[in-house]
Structure 1
Amino acid sequence: MSARSRSTRSLFADHPQIFVVLATFFVIMVIYAAQLVDLQAVRPERYRDLAEDQSTATRPIAGYRGRLLDREGFVLAASTPTQQIIADPQLVEDPQWTASLLAPLLETEASDLETRLLPASPRDRYNVVATTADAQALAGIRELVADEESSGAFTGIVIRPQEDRLYPAGELARPVIGRVDPDERGRSGLELQYDDILRGTSGIEKYERGRFGSISVGERSVQPAVRGYDLTLTLDHRIQFGTEAILQDTCETLGARSASAIVSDPRTGEVYAMASVERTSEITCGVASYNRAAIDTFEPGSVMKVVSFAAAADSLDYRADDELMVPESVWVSDKEFFDHPGHEDQLMTLSDAMGQSSNVATITLAQQMGSQTYYEYATAFGFGQLTGLDLKGESRGRLRAPAEWKGSDAGSIVIGQGMTVNLMQLAGAFNTVGNNGRFTPLRLVVDSATPADQPQVISPEAASETLAMLTAVTGDAGTGAKARIEGYSVAGKTGTAWKVFDNGSGKLTYGTENDRRYLTTFGGLVPAEAPELTVVLVVDEPRTATSATTAAAPAFAKIAQYALRVLNIAPAGGDDDVPGWRETRARVRGTPAIAQDGPRASATSDEEAPEEPSETSESAAPPAELPAEDTTESSG
């Protein structure tokens, strides 16, 4: 063995720590080599991304939500850029000092701001202090942040851009338009239904940053924001405003629980107004908390007789001046139905029978055509099914097939009892009569095309005869005389129904003469000779007037006359018949005011009526408190 080998072995033997040091050094070198291989060959992208994240930053670019416009271009809903002032309460050093600096700029009380700057809990790290779109206030805040003397007050304070949804007309058409949540996503109404179209897509700006913020000469890239689409509605803000105002006055005057109305064009189905109001206190009514015209269902009463008479004109070739033998009463199963006031057997023209709202004549016509035929016409008119508007919560009502009818249902259903409808379905039915018998779906969006293949529910001749019959309702002897409008012929139908309710016994009932609850309706077309306007409305639980003759018909006349002015619709008779009120003001330009809002009420859904209600027929005498002019109306 050589002297060098012995010397080396002696060195390691005498100094083993040297071996440990060398071994450690070797291991470290291997680890470093492995890291270099990983960095350069195995995962280079990961480290490049980490470096980029540290040297770049992004900021969002708001993609503003599209506007909702009425048919005249009036803005019903729009988004505007604002700035949110956000605090991390754990980092704010002196909330009182910060609040005192912000209060003059935001024009608010310092004490309110101080409360929002204080943590609500030990883990509270996020509080929205204020939201403002005031450019001057924001500039003032940024000056304070840049000032060395005051910058310390803004530790933990950040300003974040956002957008706010504004409704320039306040509560106008709120149940239809709906609202959005704080993140600008549709929460109700058309805002929810068309959320995908209205909602914009946010953009992103990516920029190079240094220790003191963005680098002006650094790299910068922008992914542009995409603004949501505007949506033009068929609503007319002037007619909507007038309709809501008239309904509110009607609701308050009659002491009603609620009232709803739809104003539309029978030729296109375009809805000019869809309004709902409800009671907010003992003496006031305000804009409803939900769209009652789409969601609430009710027994329509005699307004449904329009279907029976139209079906008879189409299937049995009846004309308005044809005579029908109307007996004193008619039996259906174990129920006897009468007219009110009663009469002996007599001949009536169909116009007279419609004008006097004859229950016996209606049931007689339904018996002649058969229950299945009546049912087919009722469904063709749109009852018992959705309207196609796809409104959130829309109800389809309840119209049972003849195979499910029991007892006296064949008599009750044809006069609007033992079934339920919503107001949109009634609007569609009257539109059909006014559109030469063609069914036209309701429309709320201008760009939605009217279907080319409109179903022909009844023939044009039958529709013309039905209009003639409905015109008798607003004649001197008709139940809807108070729906007349000076200078115009009006074709319409009244309806007074008893509401089903739980009287405390746990069973549904129509009540007694002492505690009945009424629901009144009116549907009408103007001008009757060539309809250009449809108005249907319902007044729920009126107290000071409990019939359609005195509750719903006058409200119809007011709404229709207002809409005729706004739309500049002339009487069908020509210029010689132009009423004085139309000559003096041919076109109305209105500016909506903020309507009074009411507390949220629970929506009523399809409440099933009892299968065999004890008072579903017309055999009982009308309540004593009904006005004399309404005694021809169906009390059910």
Structure 2
Amino acid sequence: MFIALLFIFTVFAAQLVRLQAIDAETIAQQAQRLRSRPTPIPAKRGTIQDRYGAPLAESSERFDIVVDQVAVAEYTKKDPNTKKSTKVGAAGAAADLAPILGIDEKQLATSMTGRKPWVPIARSVVPTTWLKVQGLKIPGITNELVPIRYYPGGEPAAATVGWVGSDGTAKGNTGGGLEYLYNQALTGRPGKIVREYSLDNRVIPMGNSKITPAVPGEVIRTTIDNDLNWFAHDAIAKQVQDLGAEAGVIVIMDKQGRLLAVTQAPSFDPADRGRNNSDFSNMAFQGAFEPGSVTKIITAGAALDLGLTTPTTQWEIPNRYTVDGQEFRDSHDHPTEHLTTAGVLAKSSNIGTVKLAQLYPREKLAEYMQRFGLGERTAVGFPGESAGYLGDPSTWDGRSRYTISFGQAFTATPVQVTGIMQTIANKGIHIPPSLIAGRTDVEGQYHPQPLPQQTQAVSKETASQLGSMLQSVVSNEGTALQAAVPGFNIAGKTGTSNRYTGKGGYVSSFVGYAPADDPQFVMGVFLVNPKKDIYGGSTSGPVFSSVMSHALQKYGIAPSGAKIAEFPLTFNPSQATPTPQSAPAGDNKPQAVPPDTPETKTGLQPPAVSPTDNTSTARRR
């Protein structure tokens, strides 16, 4: 019996030694782990900036103030006269906090009274207010960081900059625009604070704590000029209102494709998207439409580049013109006209453009359109961006083979259409549009974004000829005199096309660059279904003039010198020279289609925001 008791005692003694000496540290660590609990520290979302560093979207720190009701009950205050400390508890804390937080004292005292370890008493408090609260040294009062996203770029930049969801990120379907595209880089890496908690779920004041700081997100610097973007937005919004249009878009880029302004009206408040029922799409990147007569630049440019015509080649333009069994006409009836190639472009003749398109195979036209950036998405990679629809030239029927030449039976976005003019302004070199100037990483190192790969769309000589021809558009003889900017030579092209929607209507546009003799800015102005006027020259032209004038003045661009010599637009038929009137040998001519057969749009599925056109009578102006 004694031996048995001795054995039991020995076992207990050994276990006690193990617990107190050998495993004491391990057990203590296990206990601490059980008492410890991490609290996440949100990472500050990175800023989206304009080209000069001005914020377009930024996060600001706010705090939710939280109270431990048991701890705050121990709040004491020292009488300044007697130096005696008196416990004032929740009521005293409420009296001190109420004037700082702007909350009713009785309401605050009620919220702070009880046994709960975590009760929010104030939301979204600014840092200066929190510092005042912290200075009171009230026990049980803590804060939780709540980042708030602000958008100084406002409605003008909303569709481009985008927005975040209620969780402060743009993942999944909760965000849009650049916020969505660069969400991973902007999000950063959250930190954490590990504290020890008691059995009743309260922070142990003298317990161990460990903080892992959060890493903020990267800074994304765009190519956008915020001031110019605001001016452009105000201008297009006013014109939309004045003309009763459904919407308007302005795209401005430099001659190397850097986007300086991308704005639309109507727009929305990215910080309060529920305030109205606006469309949150970006029409400049997502709104494909039939561009109309702006496309004539490519048709004429291809003929010039292939050596099949010159700016002074003479063309007889009848009131109606039939080719491959298809009849074409201009926007209005007219007697037979006698236009040069320059005149065909300046006066926006559909028939003249069809004759130019007859000079080379359809495959060549498709090739040149692709060189100018049509039929594929830009290098921006904007969320939901449309590539437009061009289609394989083998699918172009007897009518669309020619209507495509003057801007119908295919679609493009405003950014793509503006890129056509960028190519001419840049001596025939097409550089896909870019929207990001660079990124600043978490170490503060700035990484500039290289320009996308460039393409020689047409020769330098062809671009120069087209530039001279396009100056005639902004003249008394052209279709866009109202796009003129005093003191500067302007090159540009109008476009007006019917909409392929149930509502009908038009898309009116003007795309141009200035100064024509030393291009600095390229701009496209697009109006969707203006009610009071439909012609691009008289609807979009004045907006171009106003905004381009502002841009030239803002950047201190010197006025133009002498006007570039313009080519003659018309000729005397009695002195006419022979002109090629048909396609060269080897063209795979399509089968004729009866005149009343509607144009085919194989595979064309325009988005709801995309005005398009399936008529064969694009307007001139």
Q: Which residue of 2 aligns with 1:69?
A: 49
Judging changes above 3 Å, is the alpha-carbon distance between structure 1 residues 29 and 112 closer, same or farther for their aligned structure 2 residues?
A: same
- The superposition leaves residues 536-592 of structure 1 with CA deviations (integer Å, 9 ceiling, x where unpaired) of 0210111112221221111111111111111222233189xxxxxxxxxxxxxxxxx
Q: Tell me, in whole angstroms, the C-alpha distance in 1 between the residues paired with 2:131 and 2:387.
A: 51
Q: Which residue of 2 aligns with 1:499?
A: 499
Q: Which residue of 1 aligns with 2:441?
A: none
Q: Which residue of 2 aligns with 1:135?
A: 128
| Equivalent residues in 2 for 1:49-128, closer than 5 Å | 49-54=29-34, 56=36, 58=38, 60-85=40-65, 104-107=99-102
Q: Which residue of 1 aligns with 2:80?
A: none
Instruction: List alignment gaps of at least 5 residues for structure 2.
Output: 74-89, 269-275, 439-447, 564-605
| TM-score, with structure 2 as normaliser | 0.75
2:405 to 402, 405, 414: 414
Judging changes above 3 Å, is the alpha-carbon distance between structure 1 residues 522 and 34 closer, same or farther for their aligned structure 2 residues?
A: farther
| Equivalent residues in 2 for 1:294-305, closer than 5 Å | 294-305=285-296
Judging changes above 3 Å, is the alpha-carbon distance between structure 1 residues 607 and 223 closer, same or farther for their aligned structure 2 residues?
A: closer
Judging changes above 3 Å, is the alpha-carbon distance between structure 1 residues 251 and 39 closer, same or farther for their aligned structure 2 residues?
A: farther
Name the aligned partner's letter for residue 505 of structure 2.
R
Q: Quick check: 1:315 aligned with 2:306?
A: yes
Judging changes above 3 Å, is the alpha-carbon distance between structure 1 residues 127 and 388 closer, same or farther for their aligned structure 2 residues?
A: farther
Q: Quick check: 1:565 aligned with 2:545?
A: no
2:361 to 370, 389, 410: 370
Judging changes above 3 Å, is the alpha-carbon distance between structure 1 residues 28 and 367 closer, same or farther for their aligned structure 2 residues?
A: farther
Q: Which residue of 2 aligns with 1:175?
A: 159
Judging changes above 3 Å, is the alpha-carbon distance between structure 1 residues 607 and 70 closer, same or farther for their aligned structure 2 residues?
A: closer
| Equivalent residues in 2 for 1:206-605, closer than 5 Å | 206=194, 213-215=204-206, 221-266=210-255, 268-278=256-266, 289-447=280-438, 448-451=448-451, 454-502=454-502, 516-573=504-561, 605=607
The answer on whether the counterparts of 1:398 and 1:606 sit within 8 Å (CA) in structure 2 is no
Shift, 1:273, TM fit:
0.5
Higher mean alpha-carbon deviation, 392-401 vs 218-227, is at 218-227
Q: Which residue of 1 aligns with 2:594?
A: none
Shift, 1:458, TM fit:
0.5
Name the aligned partner's letter for residue 100 of structure 2.
L
Shift, 1:357, TM fit:
0.5
Name the aligned partner's letter for residue 245 of structure 1.
D
Name the aligned partner's letter for residue 474 of structure 1.
V
| TM-score, with structure 1 as normaliser | 0.73
Shift, 1:96, TM fit:
12
Higher mean alpha-carbon deviation, 180-189 vs 126-135, is at 126-135
- The superposition leaves residues 45-89 of structure 1 with CA deviations (integer Å, 9 ceiling, x where unpaired) of 984542222565655455322222212222222222221135899
- The superposition leaves residues 470-495 of structure 1 with CA deviations (integer Å, 9 ceiling, x where unpaired) of 11111102111111110111111111
Q: Tell me, in whole angstroms, the C-alpha distance in 2 between the residues paired with 1:104 and 1:48.
A: 45
Q: Tell me, in whole angstroms, the C-alpha distance in 2 between the residues paired with 1:434 and 1:115.
A: 70
The answer on whether the counterparts of 2:473 and 2:479 sit within 8 Å (CA) in structure 1 is yes
- Matched residue of 1:487: which SS? coil
Name the aligned partner's letter for residue 189 of structure 2.
T
- Matched residue of 2:436: which SS? coil
Q: Tell me, in whole angstroms, the C-alpha distance in 2 between the residues paired with 1:407 and 1:462.
A: 28
| Equivalent residues in 2 for 1:147-162, closer than 5 Å | 159-162=143-146
Q: Tell me, in whole angstroms, the C-alpha distance in 1 between the residues paired with 2:240 and 2:258.
A: 26
- Matched residue of 2:430: which SS? coil
Q: Tell me, in whole angstroms, the C-alpha distance in 2 between the residues paired with 1:533 and 1:135.
A: 44
Q: Tell me, in whole angstroms, the C-alpha distance in 1 between the residues paired with 2:338 and 2:608.
A: 39
- Matched residue of 1:573: which SS? coil
Judging changes above 3 Å, is the alpha-carbon distance between structure 1 residues 558 and 34 closer, same or farther for their aligned structure 2 residues?
A: same
- Matched residue of 1:554: which SS? helix
Highest CA radius of gyration, 1 or 2? Answer: 1
Q: Tell me, in whole angstroms, the C-alpha distance in 1 between the residues paired with 2:607 and 2:93.
A: 51
The answer on whether the counterparts of 1:105 and 1:141 sit within 8 Å (CA) in structure 2 is no
Shift, 1:173, TM fit:
0.8
Judging changes above 3 Å, is the alpha-carbon distance between structure 1 residues 522 and 35 closer, same or farther for their aligned structure 2 residues?
A: farther
| Count of residues in correspondence between the two structures | 538
Pairwise CA RMSD: 4.2
1:166 to 147, 150, 157: 150
Name the aligned partner's letter for residue 238 of structure 1.
D
The answer on whether the counterparts of 1:106 and 1:137 sit within 8 Å (CA) in structure 2 is no
Name the aligned partner's letter for residue 105 of structure 1.
I
Shift, 1:354, TM fit:
0.9
Judging changes above 3 Å, is the alpha-carbon distance between structure 1 residues 279 and 72 closer, same or farther for their aligned structure 2 residues?
A: closer
- The superposition leaves residues 203-232 of structure 1 with CA deviations (integer Å, 9 ceiling, x where unpaired) of 3345678897443xx866543432222222
The answer on whether the counterparts of 1:278 and 1:286 sit within 8 Å (CA) in structure 2 is no
Q: Tell me, in whole angstroms, the C-alpha distance in 1 between the residues paired with 2:267 and 2:58.
A: 29
Name the aligned partner's letter for residue 541 of structure 2.
A
